[in-house]
Every structure is written in C-alpha cells, then in structure tokens.
Structure 1
Amino acid sequence: MRVSFCRLDGPKGGDGGSVTTIERSDGVSLRMRSYDRTFSVPHDLAHFVAEHEFRLNRGVWGSIAAGAMFASMTVVDGRLRHDSRQRSRELMRANQREIRLAEIVAGAVHDAVERGAPPSAADIASAWQIYRTDVPPFPADLPARAAARLNVLRAVWQALGPDESIDLTWQLPATSPRIRSAR
C-alpha cells in the first residue's frame, strides 16, 4: 500500500495540517485528513513509523490496508467492495486490541520525538501487556530506534514546502487475519 503524507501549509503544518493519500492494493485511493497542526510531525506519520518498527500488523495501518475505513477517510478513486462497511466494522472489531496498542506505542514514540527525549521501553512494555498476553517481542532499544527513525522523517517533513510529501510503502504481513464477509 502506498502512503503519501502531504504538508498543506507552512511550518508544523501551519493552519492547514496535513493530508494523507492512501493507495490500497484493492485499487481504492483514500484521503485521510489530519488536524494535528501543533506537532512538528503528523501523528499519522508517527503511527506509521511506530506500527512498522514494532511490527503491529493489525494496528491502524494494517487495518486500513486490509479494508478498514476510519471516520477521517474519504474515497477519492476506485470502488469499495459491496460489503465494505460491514467488512470495515469486522476488521476494526477483530483488530481493536492491536489498534489500541498502536495508539499507545505511536503516542509514546511521537511524544518522545516532540519532547526530544527517548521513549521509555518500560512504559511501552507495560502498555503492551494491557492489550496482549505475550511478552513484548521487542528489544529494549526498539523504542529509541523507532524515535530515531521518526526524527529522520521529522527533519524531512520540516524541510517540505506546502503541497510536498513524504511517500512510504506499507507492507502487509505474509498472512492476514481472515474476516468473514457479509453475504
């Protein structure tokens, strides 16, 4: 899935924030508007980095890739499946724990970048165990590595002019959860 994070206006997003364009493998193109103008890097980009680094395949971005539609998203090209609303609800229900975990992990990484301090591996591990029963499968230095990657992208983001973008690719895991479609 191709994802393009576009700056709309001036430093820190100015008054316009950012917009994300998503090209899914099903041929549907989506636009997701963000109103996080007060941050030095869009929160959706922080989610992308954190979910990728922590291998959260069923978080926000994995859910979007599989067909979920969040309220801030609109279709700009292509046709949704006939059962897209039901499928989206089922995906979000099936993935809700990992979506919540993604919010916590992305929030910690994003906050660390905004504060200029490394995220706490202990805090992330503690949050992980609220939503998952397994031991967090990441090394202690992963939160700092995720923050470092986001810092690199923040520098790129801050150098962008209005209507310029950062283009990334989201890879689906080898196996995706099976979601029963409504008939």
Structure 2
Amino acid sequence: MFAALQCVRLTISTQPVVIAAQPIAKGSVITADSLALRDLPYDEALRNVFHDCDDAVGLIAQVDVAEGGIVTSTMARASPVVPEGYTAIEVRLASSADNLSLGDVVTLSSATIFSEATPEASPDTDAVTLRELCSGAILTAKPSRDADGNTLAVFAVPPHEAATVLQAQEYSAIIAIVSS
C-alpha cells in the first residue's frame, strides 16, 4: 500500500506559487522579504497566481493579503489604489520628485511669504513660512514633466485637502516633503 501511494504522489505535478511570508497591507509596496515560494499541486485555477517572487516585488498590494495567502496578479499592480474616501489630483510641484516612489506618503506644503514686523527686523523684510496642506498624500502615478518643464505628480488625498492643494498651487509653490 505504501509503495502504491508513493507512486501516485510522484505522478502529481507541482508548481511554484508565491505566498505572503508575512501580512501585506493594502496600498503597501510588496518587498522580497514579504514573499515566499511554496510548491502546490498543479491546478488550472492557479493560472493567475505569481509563480516567481521577482514578478510581484515592487508592485502595490491592492488588497490586504494574510500571512500564508496566495498572491495573485489581481492582488497587486504597478500603481497604488486610491483609498476609499480619497480623490486623485494632479499637483504641480516646485520640489524634485526624483526620489519619490509609487505609494510614497508625503506631506504637501506651500510656501507663504508674509511681512515680518518685529523689532529686530526692518519693516520691509519678508519671511517665508511653510503651510501644511495635506499630511497624507499618496503618490499614485509616476511623476512627469509638462511642456513648460514643471513636475506634475498625481496624489490621492482627502477631498477637503484636495481643494486646499488645488487652490494653493494657483498662488504659491507646492513642495512634497518625505517623512522619515
């Protein structure tokens, strides 16, 4: 009996399947550390799963994936999702976007000039201050340049902060500040 079971086991073909080695949160970048390979019996239902960890690394999780869960091509894509209750807006940045990656969460701020009237400063001295417009803007598309050379980036933000950012960029420079 044991020999017969061994023969049956040897005839079942397997395939490598990518699984979550740890929980992966929706909207996070999938890293090599968060994935593992497991051999599973071949099944046509597993056709849309990742069969190589490298194929999923760097993608953005579109759903929460539990530890040990199979990672499918519908669960991850190259751009992040816009969270429920957020809207996506295009922002003209005065700061460099070269170091930004998809899924980065940044603070969008504007530079405001005001007259500084203090005893130490002359009355005509102007000072610049940063005004925080949105503290949780999520980069959802690779930044690009328009015909004038301005950096454009698409961020997912709450609607009330979107209105503030859109109005502020008409009158002042917007910068993206990466938190550490």
TM bracket (short chain) = under 0.3
Query: Given the two structures, how large is their TM-score scaled by the length of structure 2?
Result: 0.22
**As a proportion of its length, which structure holds more strand?**
2
Between 1 and 2, higher relative CO (CA 8 Å, sep ≥ 6) is seen in 1
**As a proportion of its length, which structure holds more helix?**
1
